Amino acid sequence: MSDPTIDLRSDTLTSPTPAMRRAMADAEVGDDVFGEDPTVRSLEERCAELFGMEAALFVASGTQGNLCALLTHCRPRQEVIADRGCHVVTWEVGGWASLAGVTMAAVDAPRGVLTPALLRAAAKPANVHLVTPHLVWVENTHNTAGGTCTSPLQMDALVDAARALGLRVHVDGARIFNAAAALDVEVARLTAGADSVQFCLSKGLGAPVGSLLLGGADFIHEARRVRKMVGGGMRQVGVLAAAGHAALDEIPPLLRHDHDNARLLAELLSDVPGLGVDLGLVETNIVFFDLAPRLGPPTAFAARLEERGVRVVGFDDANRCRAVTYHQVTTDDMRRAAEVVAAAAADGLS
């Protein structure tokens, strides 16, 4: 019997834990569009308190949460300042342009971390010929930079710079709990001063569906209207919110182990001829590895790995592959995955 496939394409690949399944089965529900689902309401209240925000809104996905934030904060012909590699810029089907009608001032931020100097340089002056800067976008952790973190002090400085320029701040915290685990701080410390935050239950936290958008009471009141407009009004959705409660109960203490596994995998891959790993970027649960030209396109290399029982994502435009750890892959899985990648690389170089 062959070994089971080790799937490292994303931390969205988790299955609901027994505790999540029990919570879903036992959830008290109501019609959330009428504001009558008690489990959703309790999750929203819990998350608002956790992040030190006035209110929260349960949404179907991180992309939907980010879109609701854009549509609530901004009006057409306004501009968002973000790192060029941010998820909202590259991986959300251009909703910022086609649906929100905003422009994007995309800057190249080292390690994906915006700085006050970069923000000041990107903010356009008042001029009839120019769009108006309005919103600063922070992604923490930063996916395409390698799961890197914006620290509390970096966030404080950025918020101060944004306020001096009259700009609002949104945090795409899809993996903010990973950042909190890596930096050993509370999530609220990483979002202090922000006007809004989005975080995912379905990534590192392992719930099957859902994200939360958080902010001031007036902001969330309008975001609820926006959510309805984009088709996000859900009914007896407490069955999903219940899994979110369970995820918040049981998964955050496991995230450091995910980070340890990512570090182990990165270190093992860094010794493989034909691969390149920047260990300095491996701060949380994401590992990128570059490929020597002789190994072919990353998508083709990923396909060869899948034939051998390991799944990663290949990015041909960046000449690299990505592996992501989560609580349902083990340290032994990391060692076997590294052996499989090393063998495939050796075959490609021979």
Q: What is the DSSP string of 186-246?
A: -HHHHSTT-SEEEEESSSTT--SS-EEEEE-HHHHHHHHHHHHHTT---SSTHHHHHHHHH
C-alpha span between 250 and 242 (Å, rounded): 13
Best CA proximity match to 234, nearest among 35, 15, 79: 35
Helix (H, G, I), strand (E, B) or coil at 159: helix
Residue 34 pLDDT > 80, yes or no? yes
pLDDT of residue 84: 97
The whole-number average pLDDT for the span 303-332 is 97
**pLDDT interval class at 87 (50, 70, 90):** very high
C-alpha span between 201 and 156 (Å, rounded): 25
Instruction: At 265, list the tokens.
Output: 């995998």
The whole-number average pLDDT for the span 255-274 is 98
Residue 1 pLDDT > 70, yes or no? no
The whole-number average pLDDT for the span 243-270 is 98
Instruction: Note the pLDDT tens digit of each residue in 92-123.
Output: 999 999 999 999 999 999 999 999 999 999 99
Percent of the chain surpassing pLDDT 90: 98
C-alpha span between 248 and 176 (Å, rounded): 12
The whole-number average pLDDT for the span 205-227 is 98
Q: What is the dihedral of CA 224, 225, 226, 227, to 10 degrees?
A: 50
pLDDT of residue 350: 81
Instruction: At 257, list the tokens.
Output: 């182990």
pLDDT of residue 332: 98
Read off the DSSP letter of residue 79: E
Best CA proximity match to 183, nearest among 219, 154, 222: 154
Residue 38 pLDDT > 90, yes or no? yes
pLDDT of residue 273: 97
Best CA proximity match to 298, nearest among 338, 347, 264, 345: 345
What are the structural domains of the chain?
Answer: 18-250 (3.40.640.10), 254-349 (3.90.1150.10)
C-alpha span between 54 and 61 (Å, rounded): 21
Residue 2 pLDDT > 70, yes or no? no
The whole-number average pLDDT for the span 232-251 is 97
Helix (H), strand (E), coil (C) string for the chain: CCCCCEECCCHHHCCCCHHHHHHHHHCCCCCHHHCCCHHHHHHHHHHHHHHCCCEEEEECCHHHHHHHHHHHHCCCCEEEEEECCCHHHHCCCCHHHHCCCCEEEEECCHHHCCCHHHHHHHCCCCCCCCCEEEEEEEECCECCCCCECCCHHHHHHHHHHHHHCCCEEEEECCCHHHHHHHHCCCHHHHCCCCCEEEEECCCCCCCCCCEEEEECHHHHHHHHHHHHHCCCCCCCCHHHHHHHHHHHHHCHHHHHHHHHHHHHHHHHHHCCCCEECCHHHCCCCEEEEEECHHHCCHHHHHHHHHHCCEECEEECCCCEEEEECCCCCCHHHHHHHHHHHHHHHHHHHC
Instruction: At 226, list the tokens.
Output: 């926006």
Residue at 78: amino acid letter: Q
Instruction: Note the pLDDT tens digit of each residue in 269-307.
Output: 999 999 999 999 999 999 999 999 999 999 999 999 999
- Return the higher-pLDDT residue of 1 and 239: 239
Q: What is the dihedral of CA 265, 16, 138, 225, to 10 degrees?
A: 160
pLDDT of residue 292: 96
pLDDT of residue 275: 98
Give Dmax (Cα) for the chain. 69
pLDDT of residue 317: 94
pLDDT of residue 197: 98
CB 274 within 8 A of CB 344: no
C-alpha span between 155 and 226 (Å, rounded): 27
Residue 132 pLDDT > 60, yes or no? yes
pLDDT of residue 3: 80
